[in-house]
Structure 1
Amino acid sequence: PRELQTDNQISGRHLTHCGFTLGASYCSFHCTHCYLPKNANAIPIPSLEQVKEQVDANRRFQGPGGGLQITGGDVADAYWKSGRADELVEIIRYAYSVGSIPMLMTHGQTLIEQPQFLERLVVEGGLRQISVHVDMTQAGRHGYPIGRITCEADLHPVRQAFTDLALRIREKTGFILEYALSFTVTRRNIDDVPEVIRWYLADPQRSYIWRMLSFQPEADTGRTIFSQRPITSADVWEKIRHGVGLPLRRDVSIFGHPDCNSWASLLIARPSGKYFPLLPDDRKFDRLLGEVLAKIGGLSLVNDDAGTPAYRLAGVLFQHPILAIRLVLQMLRYVTSRKAPREIFQSLVRGQVHTLGVGMHNFMDAKQVALADTDPVIKARLDSCVFKGAVKRNGQWEAIPMCSMNQQTWVEVYDGRLQDLALLKQPQVYAPVVESEPALPVL
C-alpha cells in the first residue's frame, strides 16, 4: 500500500517477503501455544517431490536470495523419527540450489540429542541458519517439564546448550552456523523478556551465534490456550526496550505493516560486548536510508561461508560514490558521537563487530483474520504481509500470509494430504492427539 512506502520501508525494496514451506506437521512437543490444527500429528509427511515443488513456487514469488523457512510442525523431529532424515538434507540442499536461503524452524530437541543429524544438515545440506524456539510455553523438552519451569531463566541452560552445540559444529566443520531465537510472549512470561535479552547481551559469543531475537506476542489461533488478560504488542516492545536498556524506536526500520513487525538492530563490539543501535534515531537519516535501499535493491546481506555480504554492499555503493560518501560520513559521526561507547568504533576499525536483530513479529488472532473483508486495517496487514508461503489451489500457486494459514488454510492443506493415499504408503511418524494440555495457571 502507498501509505506504507516510507523511506525506511524494507519490504518491496530490499526483499519481497520471507517464504515458508508447508512441511511435515508432526511435532513431539505439546505446547500451550501452537498455531496448527489439533490433528497436525496425524497428517502424513508430504513427499520429497511435493516439497521441492513448494520450494520452486516460493522461489518464483520471492526472486533470488529470498529467505525460506523450512517449517510445518517440527520438521527435524518428523524426518528423523520417520527414518527419512536424508529427505530433509536434500530439501535444504535443493533450496540453496534454486537460489533460496533456507532457515530450519525447530524446537531443536532432536538436534540436541542427535548432533550427527545437525552435522549432516550443515555439511551435506549446506544449512547455515536455524530458528530455535525456546520458552516457557513448551511441553516436551527433556529434563525441563513445563510444570517445573517457573521463569525463563530456568531455560538458560537450554539456550547455552544450543550455543555450545553451534560452536562445536562450527569448529568441527569449519562452516558458519547461526541461530535465531523464536520466543512466544504470554502473560505468564512477558516480565521475563528483559532478562532473556540481557542474557544474550551479557556474552558477545552468544549474540555472535544467536543473530536474531524474535519475540512474538501470543495470538488466539490454532490450539493455543490464550491468556485471560492478553498482552499487546506495545507491552512487548516496552519489555524489549527495557531489556536492551536503550530507547529503541519501534519504526526505525519497517518490514511490511508496522502493526505486524517492529525491528531494531544492534551493533555489538567484540570482545567487550558493548553495543549500540545500528541505525540512528534520526528522521533525516531515514531519508538517506531510503536512498541507499533504492540502490541496493534485492541485494542479499545474509552471511555466507566466504564472508561476502560486506563486499557485495561495498560493490554496489562504489557505483554511487556520492551516496557512499554521504553514508560513510553519517555513520562515522554516529559511531564516534558521545552517545556511542568508545569500544564500538575501535572494534569496527578492527573488524570485530557483529549485528544482533531484536524485534517483534505480531501475528493476528483467527477472529481478526476472518474480518479482513470488512476491516481495512486487517486487509492492509494481509496485503502488505512479509511472511507468505506458496500454496497450491486448483492447480495454481498463491502466496498466502501466515496469519491466513493459521486461520483456515492449514486445515485445507491437511485435508488434502489425508486424501492422498500415496503419502500413506511412505514412512510416517504419528502420535496420538493430546486431548488435554499441561496443567498451568491461566493468567
Structure 2
Amino acid sequence: MSRRDQPLRAFLGAGPSPGQLRQEFQDIKVQAIAFRQQQGFSTEAGARKENIKKNRYKDILPYDQTRVILNLRTDEGQTDYINASFIEGLYRKRCYIATQGPLAHTLLDFWCMIWEYEVKVVAMACREVEMGKKKCERYWPLEQEPLQIGPFSILQLKEQELNPDVIVRTLRVSFQQEERPLTHLQYVAWPDRGIPDNYGHFLEMIEHMRLKQGEDSAPICVHCSAGCGRTGVICTLEHVRHLLLQQSVPPDFSIFNIVLAMRKQRPSAVQTLEQYEFLYQAVAELFRAALAPGAYENLTEEHFGASRAHAGAAPQDERHLCCGDASPRGPPSPCPSTGRGKAPLYSLKPPGLMASPQKKAPSSPRHEYTDSYEDLGSSSCGGYSPITSPTSGLGYNFRIRKPKGPRDPPAEWTRL
C-alpha cells in the first residue's frame, strides 16, 4: 500500500455508524458556536438598518471577519455589504465565495461581486422556485436575450445538460467596454435541506467546476438559497476533490475538521445531519474511484512537485489552524495546506470517477431528519441561544417539530 493511498483506505475502513455521525454533527455545531464566542466573531454589518433587507433569511448573516466586501459600487445607494462569505481552500484564503441566492434588489450587488473578484465559475444548488416558494432571483439571461443589471450586460451564449440533474450555461459579462466569460452550473434536483439522489451526477458537476476553473486563482462562487446547507456540501466536496488531484489528502483526513472549519467561516455550512451523512458517502465514492487501478497515472509526482515548489511551503502555524485550533488571527483553513499560489490544471481526473453515475444516494426515513434543522437564533444581534447541553440528544439550536422560519420543513420531494 502506498503512503498516498493510506489516508483514503483508512477513511474507507473506518465506517462510522449513523449514531457516530449524528454525534459528530452535533459536536460540529457546539464547537462552531464556542469558536464564534471565544473569538468574538460578529455579524454587525448584516444586521445594520441599511443592510438588513439584503438578507434573504434573517437568521443567516455572514461573519464580519470573513464577509465579502464590495469595493466596486456602481449605484449611489449601494453599501459595501452582500450576504456572502469567503471560504479558504488548499492554497488560497479566498478559494470560495459562499453566498445566498440573490434577491430582486440585490442583483446589482451580486454582479458587482462577481466582477470585482473576477469570478469565472458560479455553482447554483437550487431552483428559482421550490415548493411554491421563491428561493432565488434569476440573475442570468434567457438564451439570446441579453440581461441588463445596472451597468452589467449579461448574454447567454449556450445552455446544455451536463447530465439529467445539471444544467451548464456559458455566459458573457460586459462592463465598461470589457468582456469576460462565465460558466454557470445549476443543480436542479437538490431539495432544500435534503441531498442529491444521485452521486454520479453530483460528482460530475464537481468535476466540471474544476475543469472550467482551470488554473484561475479567482474564487469559485457557490450558492443555494441561504448559502449555507447545500452550498457547504458543494464547497466541501470540491475541496476534497482538489486534495485528491494534488495528492495532498493528509494522514489525519477528517470530514469533521473540514466542515467545522467551514462553519467558522460561513454560519451553518452543511446545515443538516442528512447532508453531513451524504458527504461521507460522496467522499467514499471519490476515494474508491481514486484507488481504482490506474487512477493516478496522469497525476505524476513531477507535475505536482513543480506546482508545490512554485507555491512554497505553508507556515507551520497555518497548518496547525487547519486542525480546528482556535486562533485570534482568523478562521482555519478547511484542511492542511501544502503551500500557496496557483494549483496545477484540474482536468486531470482519476479514471473511474464517473464509474457509477446511476448509483443512488441512500434514502433514510424522513422522520429521522424532521428536526435536524438549525435555528441560528436572533439575527438582529447575530446571537445564539443554546437550549440544552452539548451531550443531550438535541444539542444547540435545534428546532423542535415544525420550523418557524422562512424555510419549509423537510417533506417528501418529487422531481419538479
Please report the TM-score for the alignment, with normalisation by the length of structure 1. Answer: 0.30
Q: Which structure is higher in helix share?
A: 1
Larger radius of gyration: 1
Structure with more contact order per residue of length (Cα contacts < 8 Å, sep ≥ 6) = 1
Q: What is the TM-score with the length of structure 2 in the denominator?
A: 0.32
